Structure 1
């Protein structure tokens, strides 16, 4: 046994020595990062979204099913109420006055009004007359612009303050109706009690009636949402306010008023609706994905009345869990066993990470803030750190090439790099390359008009199409910038026909964009054309992100020129613009000259050409003749040739644009783009 322990210790020391100080430091930093991620996943982008999604599944899986709550009733304005009263915003206050009179007569326990009286109305005198005579405790909704700017402006706040000051009596007081949501717009937490705000509506009601629970005074934990036992037996009885305001109908529902808390608010499909943990999949019983604000307040009130304060998970327990997750990642990376055994161990660990929070939730603990994906990601980072540290440098370099090249390089070039990894420079080298930029017209505006899910679907489809074109024509994918594609030819390996491939790719990308436009789903607004710029020049290419990050890219003025050529398409009414440098090296006869332009941010003019393989020889020749006449200073010839455009290419906007630009400039002068 001592010999075995000694061998292990000796093996560890030998391994650390082989790693070297630099790799040891990197591994230590990554392990610290793994622990940080495992502890703080709820506070981080993407990880926080995943944590919230898993929490919602936990919360809804163990949400208690309940029959209608006999302590709380919702009184709601509906679309039918608005049609009857002829008022939508603000809602009719006369009907509220009548309902409050009936409520007071029936002996309700307390009333909370989730409606902001933030603008004077003609019915206010009638409402105030009823309010001043109330014996039942009434709490009026209050919000201020500082803590809830989406609900109330500063001017409305002043009107609200004046109304409440007029309405206040010993039994009529303000209460905060603030509800806070997470970054994804879901109401999960009890809101904070800000200085200057009156007590939260649920706290105010119970403080007045003697049902208060002191432990909820500063509570910031989860809201306990419940599910109904059936569709026809909701968690809270819901009464239309116009029914309660009717003296003939109100007595029929006296049992839902007497001795109960009544919360009054709106039940409209497009206003005061909140996402809850049920929203991702819909309520399992009702199918609803959103909840009206007054029902969220009712859920908090019922939680308070039930004294349903969940136990909190102590910080030390979360720390131990994070350490265990990271430790398991390290142990798994160090393990030397059969692949199938290792795979089963990994599956078991991941399952444990995801299932354990459900066990904690089922035990009655509040798992808001409890990591699940954080443990998985921490495990992955720890596993990666140790695995990477144990690899030899040559193996790491080969892994770098294998992981990167298949995504960014054509198959033939990738195969060559795999056979000779030294062909791929990792530190930058100066090369003459063909640089290409593309952009989709109007896509930014489209993101404001289409749902995010559809935007993601459209963008992925579009980029897949254009990426395929680049790779089919032997190009290297540099990067995506939103809907823009950046690519180049001539690195890491150059071919004699790079120029021809690049021009054909530029034209094919435009055509692929046109095909994409024709096949967008129904209901999506029209999508603009794909514009492409191509230039040949000197750039520095290589991996600029370091050996630990795959980022093979090109930098330099040639890349900037290509980007500006792409931008120049719009003012020139073209779709693909190629510089003279790139055109002359293409070996193709597709081009017609588009004149000389001074690109934005450039001092030297650039001669630009448009590849138009489908245009007639006569149309191509006409463009050349117009440019030649302008260069010779023959304005009369320019005008005469311009008149022929309608005969040869009447619908050719780019050719007309060229003629217009040349008519406005002097002999050989370039057109300056803003």
Structure 2
């Protein structure tokens, strides 16, 4: 994760504004409709709606395929069905229906037919055919329970024929729908201007009559119905809420109702239609099909209602991308009566929400790696979609596609911005210094946002010096190629261990390694990690000698010196060329301790300060108190044996004998010291050294001012 600076935040905001403005602009207005479609589908799939159709205030009487296939309608043109329609409507009215709306239009009558039939036109011979139908329309209309439908158009209006208009006293309302640019119906008009006056649309008229009120225009310009302010982002429209996906509307086959009239079952009509708004319309597979917000989820042509006289068809209803037009009006009427129309956010709020989402994604893309940013976009989109679906359950439509797509665009633009501008310096740093600096140093420079420059700071560190013993003589026996191969293998293995324990390799000097722990990355346990790395390096060299063919026959050994203390670390050098390195007396002492190993025959030597900072992590033995070249103060030095509790029996035995001998040595009891050291002299070079020195001093005692400090000559 990278740190995001002020410039990056500014870029993220500009990108978010640009992406938000693009995806909420008028050319992409279709995305708002797509959001409604997706929300409708997701709500249907994830939440569902199991409302009982019996509670629906709206029912549909369907002139369906069953009607066309059932006598007496089978083979008869629909113009001849009017008398039967009148009888069924009369029974529905007697059953207690609040209002009946026509979603079918009979623009002409069979009485108007001019087709010759014998010596006179057919219409002349059929005079009076629609009389009973027109009487039924007059009676139901006069009771305030009938509204005929019409299609308003400047070019091709579709209206009931004149006799019907007179029968219902022009009680006709428009069936026109609001179709978006993609030919999908998501909203319904509330009113139309007829002769310069606003006239309610069919759905509004039916809902108003069912509620016993009239629509009014509030001071805000919104339409109110019985105290309900109808929401709508598009003026004078209602956004449809297909909560039940059409399955919540009971649908009666006109054929079965006509048979029920013949049967004389008035109770059935009362049970089915009492208190209901009734819509009469065609429900066919090939006529008056509409694409709506249910197009992605699949809508239903209602739910088959109870039957009265005819057996139910065997074929079950299936979800389709389109629905019969009558169910669009049924949904609008139900939305109005139940106050359940969808509330959409206006353009300002949609834009703000889209920009905010894009800004969050852009900031994430500024902080995370590209793969992480993509995952963040997916996670944020999923969380936002879940919130949007939750809001849609309560009929609030939050924009969905606009924020998600704007977020994706912001993601792409922010990644592009980082690649071209923001991360250019970082790539330069990593490319330029990858082979010279530790990853931690590069990360520090990248996080600071600054190019490397001269400067340093005082840090408490542990220095690590190592050198191969007698390597010059070994190198003389090897070809240049063999020498390079061996050194690369050795230095790679040691470096991996050092860096694996948090160390930083400062430099290689021939076969020597200079490293530090505690910088550049801060490490409170730098002493412990340095000692642990030294032990692992010693084990690794033994493993290479035993198993790596490059090392075979050479028997390489190395010496390691460790010292902890304050040191200056940072970019040190000239103004044109510098390196991240370390300087101080701490460094010099570590170098001297590495060389001191050869006097004692040890592989690892650490100062008392390093030993003290490791606590009880390791088992140690004190080797001596020494005075190294260039330093007047004596230093107590120690050899790490192993992790505490992991030392071998032999190591424990040697350390105990050595400690006894060292105590006698410092007490000037040289004979006893010689005996103690002699016990392990054959297997321990340090004990052999002290045994020899103790015997010499036992034979020739030192002066009274003698101190048990070994002054080492040379490095």
**TM-score, normalised relative to structure 1:** 0.47
| Higher CA-based Rg | 2
- Relative to its length, the structure with more strand (as a share) is 2
**TM-score, normalised relative to structure 2:** 0.44
